[in-house]
């Protein structure tokens, strides 16, 4: 891999434009200096539907993991019921490997508030909420202060900027569970209940959401994008990135690279290889790439020596190695995984695949809410199997059993947690079967603590 | 209860067969209408849909429509093309819509059921040999019907508490719990007593009472009934009897005028438990805890087991002869009970007419809980009205009888089932009056009575009650009465024929019903005994709409519905 020959792609920072500027603070004065809240002023002069149209035109896709077009989501909103409409910002960032929203909340909270107020106006929300992950103590404080500042300046609260539109933002500290990030679980939690995800149908948030009222739940990064869409217009925004993959994305790289961190690029501007070797400084000396999880721990793992073949939506055939996968929404999807929340986890050849799998299983077994049978029982079973394997008691048929258990979970649960927990096992076991078989042939007890697996 | 089934019928395709089902009915119920079982744990027809057990996963598809034109997409043969949902869906939360296709027995569905059964049994203790639910356990039934029959699980099972007291009548075995949340939803939605919830998460979730609360409401035992496994057990029934030995008898709760339909379970003449029987017009699937313990009085020490004359045991024949002698050609008061059956009250009315006696009725009243324990604490006050025994509402509770006795207006009193002294009749007023007491249990009145004739308890006889909503509901004999005793209706027919040998009236219920239905202007007109045995029959209560009934609005009961009838 000769990095010198390659043209290094430059970051394009849209969301995190000011975040790491040493002169920039998270106070409102900094934000106002860089043109903050101008887009809110502009938007309030438009009709709410016009903003919705711009967002639809921009093609911006949800940054929370599923990648559903935000403009479409807004269109599903039930406006005929006469019930109040709510906007919820999902700041319960808890997918392992993801740490992008945290940067926004800590370093540029006003950008989120402006994006939320524009969105709230667009959907005519009565009240907006930021549901922030319980562990983000500091983030919650920063947001509270920022909302106070914005309220003092009339950017949120009663009669925003003297207009007829009123909407306040409430910061709600999460309940300390991964499942609180699932939108209907989040809604239950916000209502003060156990965050058991709701069954869909009938409880689609756009129709029967918070307090059974129409509700929009958007990710932090998605809502920030709304501000930029209003700045440049939907059409102009849609020119960033690639068709169907518009805007920028923040990739959170963790694991065995020299420079882990968050990097914002135009969608599709670079490949996995460029991200790992050029942007992140490559692997540690003497190591070779073993696997990459491209979109947070629930995304299917990609094997370093795999070939990814198929036909793209535009009809062209592709034959990629792992380095060639374009980093946008559709690229990792074409490779059989997903870009998810943008959490790229890199594993070099020193990683024990079974232990990595055990760690992922431990996480999901700990986080399953316990509401529906397949997830509740299946995920803990998988955890017990992989833990046993790491404890030196692996068996020949464990790989098949794991795969079968994961298949019994996928597609049969109330929420997408079932898939989130089954996909890692399905992909790890089918792509690294020899590692699982080897564990049984040479049982070796893991040195050190088994606590995290 | 996501959507109430509408009257309109639509056609769906169930496993390749076109069938008619009510529009909007969920697929579990719709399939059941056509004899197809979709196994389920968490779904209960009278509770909200939770969709958490995933046992009812099925394949479903709807006719495809062209996105642009909205026209149906057709196959080559002209049949509508079905867009199958890529993932299995839960039958409980999927409502039938026109043209819907449903597969309840495909390989995918079978695979789902096998998977769910395996998962449910992973951490289940499999302690069926000591489990009270064994024999009526959904886990056992569905494991044999839909499971693989073997387990691939070799890890350690989760360990949870085995005997947690949730309340005075309900015990929880956490290891058996499959977290279906039926008990939680019941407590919230039916009992209006939100005390149960889950704590901890994932497979370690456990059912618990909220801090400082307990499951002590008068409906707590319904959670035991709807628990599909042996997690919730009744402290009263626990470890007492294997359910497969029990004989089940259809009965009616005699606690109040709500008239909950019940099943009395007995073995070898002994009652072990009373559980509710589903009746969507009356009690859904519920009954009170207090109604379940009524069987205990059957075996109590104060049961009257022998006829008595002047306090000494005697034969039934002598007792009846003495009674008829005391009653004939005398000024007689007859005190009836709203706890007697419709048939008994009808015969008592015949008897009192022959004796030219004056009738009195004793009511029993309490608080109304707005569910299934009504303010009228007798099962058959409306039966007393329908039988013609009484026209007035017994609000005064024998006060008139007391003053009439004081004025020496009666020479003899025939009391059926009630305790005069406990009803407020002054004992001195009964001095010099010939008292004939027909009762199940001895009390102050039977000590004063000249003749005492034992009756059978509710559980030992067959009869009919008319509940607060004017539903005539019959119940069957669950256990034999004490040796030597005969049914109450036979005692009354014998008395009638002793008073008037010409009056022939049969004690055979079928013939008795024929007689009752032929009474002029009777609301029982056209109803036979076999009709009322089959199902609850709604009677026209408009004749009595102006009476001051005490019942409040409650489950399936609107006080106003009388005047609109």
Report yes or no: A401 at the B interface, CB cutoff 8 Å: yes
Nearest to B115 among A370, A388, A408 (CB): A408
Which chain B residues have a beta carbon less than 8 Å from that of A376? 119, 179, 202-203, 205
* Minimal C-alpha gap between B181 and chain A (Å): 9
Residues A20, A22, A28: CA angle, nearest 5 degrees: 80
Question: CB of B472 within 8 A of CB of B284?
Answer: no
Residues B547, B552, B553: CA angle, nearest 5 degrees: 120
Mean pLDDT value across residues B323-330:
95
Helix (H) or strand (E) holding B443: none
Q: For residue A101, what pLDDT is reported?
A: 96
pLDDT in tens, B31-41: 999 999 999 99
Q: How many CB atoms lie within 10 A of CB A325?
A: 24
Whether B1 has a pLDDT exceeding 80, the answer reads no
pLDDT in tens, B169-184: 999 999 999 999 999 9
Q: For residue A4, what pLDDT is reported?
A: 52
Could you tell me where the beta strands, DSSP code E, fall in B200-339? 206-209, 232-234, 247-252, 261-267, 270-276, 308-309, 312-313, 332-337
pLDDT in tens, B496-554: 999 999 988 999 999 999 999 999 999 999 999 999 999 999 999 999 999 999 999 99
**Chain A to chain B Cβ contacts (< 8 Å):** 94
Q: For residue B564, what pLDDT is reported?
A: 44
Q: Give the helix ranges, DSSP H, for A22-97.
A: 28-33, 38-44, 48-58, 70-75
Report yes or no: A22 at the B interface, CB cutoff 8 Å: no
pLDDT in tens, A59-99: 999 999 899 999 999 999 999 999 999 999 999 999 999 99
* Minimal C-alpha gap between B261 and chain A (Å): 33
Contact A373 B55 (CB under 8 A): yes
pLDDT in tens, B386-434: 999 999 999 988 999 999 999 999 999 999 999 999 999 999 999 999 9
Which chain A residues have a beta carbon less than 8 Å from that of B198? 194, 370
Contact B90 A373 (CB under 8 A): no
Whether B562 has a pLDDT exceeding 50, the answer reads no
Tokens representing B358 are 């004056």
Instruction: Please tell me the pTM assigned to this model.
Output: 0.94
Query: Which residues of chain A are modeled with pLDDT < 70?
Result: 1-6
Q: For residue B3, what pLDDT is reported?
A: 47
Query: Which pLDDT band, with edges at 50, 70 and 90, does B275 fall under?
Result: very high
Question: CB of B61 within 8 A of CB of B84?
Answer: yes
Minimum CA–CA partner of B94 in chain A: A201
Q: For residue B4, what pLDDT is reported?
A: 52
Q: For residue B565, what pLDDT is reported?
A: 42
Whether B148 has a pLDDT exceeding 60, the answer reads yes
Contact B88 A385 (CB under 8 A): no
Mean pLDDT value across residues B309-321:
96
Contact A199 B197 (CB under 8 A): no
Whether B6 has a pLDDT exceeding 60, the answer reads no
* Minimal C-alpha gap between B304 and chain A (Å): 54
Interface of A with B in 241-280 (CB under 8 A): none
Q: For residue B503, what pLDDT is reported?
A: 86
Minimum CA–CA partner of A386 in chain B: B155
Q: For residue B125, what pLDDT is reported?
A: 96
Nearest to A412 among B54, B86, B201 (CB): B54
Question: CB of B380 within 8 A of CB of B418?
Answer: no
Closest CA to B9 of B60, B48, B18: B18
* Minimal C-alpha gap between A218 and chain B (Å): 25
**Which single residue is written with the structure tokens 């909205």?**
B70
Whether B239 has a pLDDT exceeding 50, the answer reads yes
Report yes or no: A201 at the B interface, CB cutoff 8 Å: yes
Q: For residue A6, what pLDDT is reported?
A: 60
Helix (H) or strand (E) holding B82: strand B82-84
- Mutation site, B51, B117, B119, interface A, largest A CB count within 10 A: B119
Distance CA B188, CA B50 (A): 13
Closest CA to B91 of B105, B102, B107: B102
CA dist A94 → A106, A194, A367, A417, A425 (Å): 16, 17, 10, 13, 19
Nearest to A388 among B112, B116, B155 (CB): B155
Distance, first Cα to last Cα, chain A: 34
* Minimal C-alpha gap between A377 and chain B (Å): 5
């Amino acid at each position: 891999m000769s990095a010198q020959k390659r043209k290094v792609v430059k970051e394009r920072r849209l969301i995190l434009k000011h975040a790491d500027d040493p002169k920039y603070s998270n106070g409102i004065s900094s934000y106002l200096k860089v043109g903050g809240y101008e887009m809110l002023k502009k938007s309030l002069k438009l009709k709410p539907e016009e903003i919705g149209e711009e967002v639809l035109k921009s093609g911006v896709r949800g940054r929370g993991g599923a990648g559903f077009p935000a403009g479409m989501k807004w269109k599903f909103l039930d406006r005929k019921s006469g019930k109040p409409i709510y906007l919820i910002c999902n700041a319960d960032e808890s997918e392992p490997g993801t740490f992008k929203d945290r940067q926004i909340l800590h370093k540029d909270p006003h950008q989120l508030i402006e994006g939320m107020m524009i969105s709230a106006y667009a959907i005519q929300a009565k009240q907006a909420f930021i549901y922030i992950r319980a562990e983000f103590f500091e983030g919650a404080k920063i947001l509270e202060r920022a909302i106070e500042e914005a309220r003092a300046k009339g950017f949120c609260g009663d009669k925003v900027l003297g207009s007829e539109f009123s909407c306040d933002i409430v910061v709600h500290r999460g309940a300390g569970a991964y499942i609180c990030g699932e939108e209907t679980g989040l809604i239950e939690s916000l209502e003060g209940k156990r965050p058991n995800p709701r069954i869909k149908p009938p409880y689609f948030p756009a129709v029967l959401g918070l307090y059974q009222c129409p509700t929009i739940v958007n990710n932090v990064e998605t809502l920030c994008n709304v501000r930029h869409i209003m700045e440049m217009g939907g059409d102009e925004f849609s020119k960033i990135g690639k068709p169907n993959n518009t805007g920028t994305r923040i990739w959170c790289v963790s694991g065995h690279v020299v420079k882990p961190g968050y990097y914002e690029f135009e969608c599709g501007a670079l490949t996995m290889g460029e991200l790992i070797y050029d942007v992140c400084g490559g692997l540690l000396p003497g190591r070779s790439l073993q696997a990459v999880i491209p979109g947070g721990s629930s995304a299917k793992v990609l094997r370093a020596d795999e070939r990814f073949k198929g036909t793209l939506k535009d009809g062209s055939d592709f034959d990629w190695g792992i380095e060639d996968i374009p980093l946008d929404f559709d690229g990792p999807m074409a490779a059989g995984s997903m870009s998810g929340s943008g959490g790229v986890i890199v594993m070099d050849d020193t990683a024990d695949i079974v232990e990595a799998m055990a760690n992922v299983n431990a996480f999901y077994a700990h986080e399953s809410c316990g509401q529906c049978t397949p997830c509740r029982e299946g995920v803990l079973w998988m955890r017990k199997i992989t833990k046993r394997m790491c404890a030196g008691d692996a068996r020949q048929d464990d790989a098949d059993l794991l795969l079968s258990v994961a298949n019994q979970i996928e597609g049969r649960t109330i929420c997408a947690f079932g898939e989130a927990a089954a996909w890692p096992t399905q992909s790890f076991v089918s792509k690294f079967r020899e590692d699982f078989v080897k564990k049984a042939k040479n049982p070796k007890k893991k040195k050190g603590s088994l606590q995290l697996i | 209860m996501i959507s109430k089934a509408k009257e309109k019928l639509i056609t769906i395709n169930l496993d390749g067969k076109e069938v008619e089902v009510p529009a909007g009915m969920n697929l579990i119920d719709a399939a059941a209408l056509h004899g197809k079982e979709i196994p389920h744990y968490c779904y209960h027809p009278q509770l909200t849909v939770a969709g958490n057990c995933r046992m009812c996963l099925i394949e479903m598809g709807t006719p495809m429509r062209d996105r642009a034109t909205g026209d149906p997409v057709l196959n080559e043969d002209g049949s509508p093309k079905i867009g199958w949902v890529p993932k299995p869906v839960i039958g409980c939360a999927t409502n039938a819509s026109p043209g819907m296709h449903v597969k309840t027995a495909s390989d995918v569905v079978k695979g789902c059921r096998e998977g769910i059964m395996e998962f449910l049994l992973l951490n289940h203790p499999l302690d069926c040999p000591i489990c009270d639910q064994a024999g009526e356990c959904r886990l056992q039934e569905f494991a044999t019907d839909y499971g693989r029959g073997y387990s691939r699980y070799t890890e350690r099972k989760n360990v949870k508490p085995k005997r947690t007291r949730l309340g005075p009548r309900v015990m929880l075995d956490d290891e058996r719990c499959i977290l279906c949340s039926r008990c939680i939803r019941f407590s919230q939605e039916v009992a209006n007593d939100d005390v149960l919830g889950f704590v901890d998460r994932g497979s370690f979730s456990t059912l618990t009472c909220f801090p400082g609360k307990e499951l002590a409401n008068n409906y707590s035992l319904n959670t035991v009934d709807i628990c599909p496994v042996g997690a919730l057990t009744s402290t009263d029934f626990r470890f007492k009897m294997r359910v497969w030995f029990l004989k089940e008898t259809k009965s009616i709760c005699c606690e109040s005028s709500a008239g909950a339909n019940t099943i009395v379970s007995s073995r070898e003449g002994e009652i072990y438990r009373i559980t509710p029987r589903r009746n969507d017009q009356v009690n859904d699937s519920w009954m009170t805890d207090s109604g379940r313990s009524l069987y205990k009085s059957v075996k109590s020490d104060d049961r009257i087991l022998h006829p008595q004359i002047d306090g000494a045991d005697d034969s039934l024949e002598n007792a009846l002869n003495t009674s008829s002698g005391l009653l004939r050609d005398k000024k007689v008061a007859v005190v009836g009970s709203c706890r007697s059956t419709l048939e008994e009250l009808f015969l008592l009315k015949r008897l009192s007419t022959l004796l030219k006696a004056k009738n009195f009725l004793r009511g029993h009243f309490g608080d109304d809980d707005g569910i299934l324990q009504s303010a009228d604490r007798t099962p058959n006050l409306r039966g007393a009205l329908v039988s013609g025994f009484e026209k007035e509402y017994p609000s005064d509770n024998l006060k008139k009888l007391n003053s009439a006795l004081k004025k020496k207006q009666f020479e003899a009193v025939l009391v059926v089932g009630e305790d005069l002294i406990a009803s407020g009749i002054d004992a001195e007023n009964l001095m010099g009056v010939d008292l004939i007491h027909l009762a199940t249990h001895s009390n102050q009145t039977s000590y004063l009575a000249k003749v005492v004739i034992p009756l059978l308890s509710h559980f030992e006889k067959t009869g009919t009650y008319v509940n607060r909503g004017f539903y005539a509901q019959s119940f069957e004999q669950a256990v034999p009465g004490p040796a030597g005793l005969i049914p109450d209706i036979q005692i009354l027919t014998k008395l009638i024929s002793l008073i008037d040998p010409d009056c022939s009236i049969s004690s055979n219920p079928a013939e008795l019903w024929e007689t009752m239905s032929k009474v002029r202007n009777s609301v029982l007109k056209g109803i036979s005994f076999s009709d009322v045995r089959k199902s609850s029959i709604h009677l026209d209560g408009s004749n009595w709409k102006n009476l001051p009934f005490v019942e409040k609005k409650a489950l399936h009961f609107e006080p106003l519905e009388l005047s609109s009838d």
